[in-house]
Amino acid sequence: MTLSFAIPRIQNPADFGRVAVLMGGTSAEREVSLDSGRNVLDALRARGVDAHAVDGIPALIEALIAKRFDRVFNILHGGDGENGVLQGLLQSLGVPYTGPGVLASALTLDKIRTKQVWMSAGLPTARFVRVPPGGDLAAAARELGLPVFVKPSTEGSSVGVFRILSEDDLKPAMAFAATYDGELLAEQMLTGGEFTVGVLGDVALPSVRIVAASGWYDYHAKYIAEDTQYLCPGLEGEDEAQIRALALAGFRAAGCSGWSRVDVMRHADGRFMLMEINTAPGMTSHSLVPKAARQLGVDFETLCWLILETSLPDANVSEARAR
C-alpha cells in the first residue's frame, strides 16, 4: 500500500485555526467518548494545534455563537454526535468538521437502514429481521434460526447487544426489549471471524482481526479486558485485498467521507459480510483504527492530524489565505 496518504498536506498547525475537540455528551457511550477525546486533544496539542475540549453539543453551540472555534474534531460517540444532528448544525453554521456529512451520519447510525442500502447496492451483509418497538423478538430470532445476535439498531459500543445461543438466552433480551423504545434487529451469527477496517479518505487501512478470549467481543472485551487479541493485518494476500475493497465499497455506498470504521464478519463458508459503520470511531488505548494506522507506520499524533486535515477543503490553506 502506498503511504502517500500518510504525508500531511499542510505543515502549519495554525492553518487549522482554533479547534474544538467535541467529546462526552449524553449518550450511552459518554465515558468512551471522553477517553477518546482526551487522547485526541493531547495528540493535537502535541503537534501544536490550538485545540480545546468541549463536552457536549449545548456547550459547543454556546462556543460557536461566541465564535470561539474555527472547526470541530468530532469524537462524540453515538446519539446526536453520529446521527446527523451535529453535522446539520455545523453545516448550517458553516463550521468545518471531521467525519461524514449529514445524510451518511444519519444513515449509518441506523444498522437496519444501512443494511438496506448495502443490499440495494448488491453488497453482502448478514441476514437479519427487523423488530419494531413492541415486536415479537422471539419470533424474529426463531425465523433466522439460532444462534443469533439481538441488538438495538441505533446504539454502539455493544450497548444492548445479546448473544442468543439457546432459547433460554432469549429471556434477558426480551426483558431489555420490553424497556427499550427503539427498533431492534435479530441478526444471523457468523462464525468465520470478526474483522474491522478503518477508512481514511479514499484509503482502506489494514484489516484487524479481533479474537476475544471469551469468544464474544462485548463491551468488556472492547474496553476493559487485557486478553483480547488484535491481529493486524487480520488476513493475507487476496483475502486481505478483498476485505479492504469490500469495506471501501461499503463506506462509499453509504455516502461516507472523511474517516470511519467498517465492521466485517466472515461466514463459515469464507464469504465476507458487511455489518455496520462507525463514523466517529473510538480513539482509546483499545481502539482499532489507531492499531491499523500503526501497522503502516502512522503514529497516533499523525493519525489525528490526518483526520483533522479531512475537514479542510483546500490542502494549500496558508497560500490561499495569503492571497
Q: Looking at the annotation, which residues are catalytic?
A: 29, 157, 223, 261, 263, 276, 278, 282
Cell of 130: 427487523
Residue 4: partners with Cβ closer than 8 Å, 6 or more residues away: none
DSSP 117-168: HHHHTT--B--EEEE-TT--HHHHHHHH-SSEEEEETT--TTTT-EEESSGG
3-state secondary structure of 34: helix
Beta strand ranges found along the chain (DSSP E): 18-23, 50-55, 71-74, 128-131, 148-152, 162-164, 184-188, 194-200, 203-204, 208-211, 229-231, 259-266, 272-278
3-state secondary structure of 272: strand
DSSP 215: S
- DSSP element (H, E) containing 251: helix 237-253
Angle at 288 between CA 185 and CA 54, to 5 degrees: 85
Using only the alpha carbons of the chain, give its radius of gyration: 20
Phi–psi pair at 51, nearest 5 degrees: -110, 145
Residue 252: partners with Cβ closer than 8 Å, 6 or more residues away: none
Of 288, 46, 93, 65, which is closest to residue 54 (Cα–Cα)?
A: 65
3-state secondary structure of 261: strand
